[in-house]
Homo-oligomer: A and B are copies of this chain.
Amino acid sequence: MSTVLLEARMATVAAAVEVELAALLPAAEGAQARLNEAMRYAALGGGKRLRPFLVAATAELFGITGAAPIRVGAAVELIHAYSLVHDDLPAMDDAALRRGRPSCHRAFDEATAILAGDALQALAFEVLARDDYGADPGQRCRLVRKLAEASGALGMCGGQMIDLLAERQELTVAEITTLQRLKTGAIIGFSCEAGAVLGRAGSAETEALRGYAHDLGLAFQIKDDLLDLEGDSAVTGKDSGRDSEVGKATFVRRLGVAGARAKLEELRRSALGRLDIFGDSARVLGQLFAFVIDRRS
């Protein structure tokens, strides 16, 4: 499959998830309309929807298409959106912009943004638990539990905590790996494993998808670091990773640019190896890996 075809498939999933989210999010009406409006602002119109695509692509390995992967993808995006709203708050990263628009607390206010994040999280679990998308109760419970684990204290929230603490101290490569495995890796891991849950995969296949997700999550982060560096270089004229990333725990800072690129290549080989068990049907996941490490933004 060519990159153009991959991007077309990603766009198709993204469009379906957008429609699903628009229907699942509360309409901006009623006495609390401002809250609902902030939730829609934060969750709609955003990004490449990489995580839902992982749900759809892994579910398809087991012949599962239709409503279920889109619903699960929408739930993941609700969690992703809430985490961005809270990460952008003044007490956290204090970001004024998100996806080229004012961040949620700038567009509304801080209290509304805190509540919108909270309500987006609740909505994610609500829509996973509902019986209207073709998953049985056992599958829905597993999805709720796994998404909660991936986003909670031993997943995304824990990673964010370590990231905040890291601003005060140097981390080793092993510690940065732990940080990223929790902060971004856990939700990517959920997205891949969700396909296995929907497809009632055996343990070998589930394990293979976990391994792929691990490699992909790490590669995603290393590529992000490299892009940050290149972005900074263009703007600041600096070419030293050390100066431009002071106070941030990044792989590039620890491994250097050449080391980071070598690590990407190592992860690519590992990820493709994990997919062997699925044969030709996993080609889209291989392409996706290449897409992630070759992207320019």
Q: Which residues of A contact B (CB under 8 A)?
A: 26, 30-32, 34-36, 39, 82-83, 86, 89, 91-92, 109-112, 114-115, 117-119, 121-123, 125-126, 128-131, 136-138, 140-142, 144-145, 148-149, 151-155, 157-162, 164-165, 175, 178-179, 182
Contacts and interface: CB of A to CB of B under 8 A. Distances in A.
Number of copies: 2
Contact of A141 (B92, B110, B140, B149): B140
Contact of A35 (B32, B131, B144, B161): B161
Nearest first, the 8 closest Cβ-Cβ pairs linking A and B are: A126-B148, A122-B152, A91-B110, A137-B137, A32-B158, A35-B161, A129-B144, A129-B145
Q: Max chain B CB contacts within 10 Å: which of A86, A92, A111, A162? A: A111
29 contacts: A30-B158, A31-B165, A32-B157, A32-B161, A32-B182, A34-B161, A35-B153, A36-B153, A39-B153, A91-B114, A115-B157, A118-B151, A119-B153, A122-B152, A122-B155, A122-B157, A123-B148, A123-B153, A126-B144, A126-B145, A126-B148, A126-B152, A128-B144, A129-B129, A129-B144, A129-B148, A131-B141, A137-B141, A141-B141
B26 A154 contact: yes
